[in-house]
Structure 1
């Protein structure tokens, strides 16, 4: 198996864009396409669904990405262990999270990490949804667990830690509120609310691809403010199913999508920040989530 093929696959799976993948790997776009086609021939099935506007993982591609993650990151872990043996690990690792479920996952991983590295402490901090990357770039955070996709040239995306079903939050008085589920077509004509500051590529992924609505029409800075606007009937929002658990309101209804994949959450760190402690935390994350069924 050609390592370059696997690296091209992994990078494209996170970038979902051939041009950005080529830039990250310092290859031509044609070379990236060739590597992906070769790997697809090896597998015997398409790994990506491609259109003129969008690249998305196929079900087989998603399965392959999940199965490869422990093995690819295992190589990183091997170097981390060698580094540990040479100089040891000590100090404080600062880890961010972007949602309640991500925060719980970080705490579980931190417990495993501390048990292995007694000289280390983990400082856990919440990320603001409208500015998820600045703390990583400034050095305030060493790594973070947040929503994918993350397509930033100075940030590295690691393994998917968990998935959460994609849902539509509507007012309890909304015409859709009595439904058991919705599809992307139901967004037609709706005002879609979103957090300000999210990148275009993230919004493209958040709102179901085959939805008639290609962009949110209104943004706000704070999550609780956004939910208040939804409850007041000012619009609807696409979010993760954990919202029903952590942000229940009698004036809100969370409806699952029947035709859209779950949202994914994974680790992210600066390209220049792969320290021994960061690599050890990634290793702990992989082992903590191994065998745990993905949500949704």
Structure 2
């Protein structure tokens, strides 16, 4: 019995004529696709592709098989698409990427609010890193309808190109995550000018995105030191670096401890800095009424305690 994954691998390689591109399209390892094709060839009893170090092409047998199975594959895809549409007519799912630094209590409050006010809507939570949130406009292929994450103040007034930002869902005051042995660990709160006594982690290649979070100078014009690291922008790695390198610091939200286990690390509040904003963001080209309603309902959770 031939499996659907085998048919999909066959057609992908036939269309791409490249095992690596076919694997990327199917979100599989190249070795997995190659193994699948070899298995099909053994079952058919002949080679379906001619492979050299420079090219891949269909054999006559491969062309015949692809031509025979393609209509059935298309019919199967249409059947599943129609089934999804029928299911969506009864229950509308919204795939929302929530940054892992958003407290679980806030995520649950958003889910309950939206599903209560929009009967028939189900929120599917997808955990994403803060890098995914900041680069979402380049990562629409993730299949998410929108993301919810922390943004610098004023994001709605100047969203990333091609993006839409919803009302504020929550505000959280800034805090510096530092090692308990750091001289400033007992200072609470820190004055914004004291940030010059710290070295902040900066992600190589993301300087333009990180600048709104940690400006290069204080309001008095004093430089704020950075140390560049080649890593993904997510709170787990930042927590690890602060723990392993006592001189490094990370500017984050005071509520981080509700989302991540910080252990012995210390969160020191910062005076003189505007609070960070939790908002919904989505691509303008993919905007739908359901996404706009989600953003408005999520924003209504904190309405009255702040201005959006």
- Number of corresponding residues: 205
CA offset digits 1:190-228 (Å, max 9, x no partner): 32114566451x322211564334563133334223212
Evaluate the alpha carbon distance shift between residue 247 and residue 105 of structure 1 in structure 2; reply closer, same or farther with a 3 A threshold: closer
CA offset digits 1:232-271 (Å, max 9, x no partner): 3141111111123333545311111111111111111110
- 1:154 matched residue in structure 2: 162
Say if 2:103 and 2:259, in contact at 8 Å, map to a contact too.
no
Structure 2: distance between partners of 1:97 and 1:203: 19
Say if 1:102 and 1:146, in contact at 8 Å, map to a contact too.
no
- 1:131 matched residue in structure 2: 132
Structure 2: distance between partners of 1:203 and 1:136: 18
Say if 2:94 and 2:145, in contact at 8 Å, map to a contact too.
yes
- 1:268 matched residue in structure 2: 281
Q: What displacement does 1:113 show?
A: 2.2
Say if 1:207 and 1:238, in contact at 8 Å, map to a contact too.
yes
- 1:18 matched residue in structure 2: none
CA offset digits 1:137-179 (Å, max 9, x no partner): 2261111111224532111111111111101111100111121
Structure 2: distance between partners of 1:274 and 1:118: 20
Structure 1: distance between partners of 2:197 and 2:116: 52
- 1:113 matched residue in structure 2: 114
* Long gaps (5+) in structure 1: 1-87
Q: Tell me, yes or no, if structure 1 residue 180 matches structure 2 residue 151.
A: no
Structure 2: distance between partners of 1:139 and 1:248: 27
Partner residue of 2:297 out of 267, 278, 284? 284
- TM-score of the two chains, using structure 2 as the length reference: 0.58
Classify the secondary structure of the residue corresponding to 1:265: strand
Say if 1:136 and 1:270, in contact at 8 Å, map to a contact too.
no
Pick the structure with greater CA Rg.
2
Say if 1:184 and 1:260, in contact at 8 Å, map to a contact too.
yes
Q: What displacement does 1:273 show?
A: 1.9
Classify the secondary structure of the residue corresponding to 1:141: coil
RMSD of aligned C-alpha atoms?
Answer: 2.7
* Long gaps (5+) in structure 2: 1-88
Q: What displacement does 1:89 show?
A: 8.3
Structure 2: distance between partners of 1:89 and 1:269: 24
Evaluate the alpha carbon distance shift between residue 181 and residue 250 of structure 1 in structure 2; reply closer, same or farther with a 3 A threshold: same
Q: Tell me, yes or no, if structure 1 residue 166 matches structure 2 residue 167.
A: no
Classify the secondary structure of the residue corresponding to 2:96: strand
Structure 1: distance between partners of 2:178 and 2:272: 18
Structure 1: distance between partners of 2:190 and 2:295: 36
Evaluate the alpha carbon distance shift between residue 136 and residue 117 of structure 1 in structure 2; reply closer, same or farther with a 3 A threshold: farther
Structure 1: distance between partners of 2:204 and 2:278: 20
- 1:217 matched residue in structure 2: 227
Say if 1:89 and 1:276, in contact at 8 Å, map to a contact too.
no
For structure 1, which segment, 271-280 or 95-104, has the greater mean C-alpha deviation from structure 2 after superposition?
A: 95-104
- TM-score of the two chains, using structure 1 as the length reference: 0.61
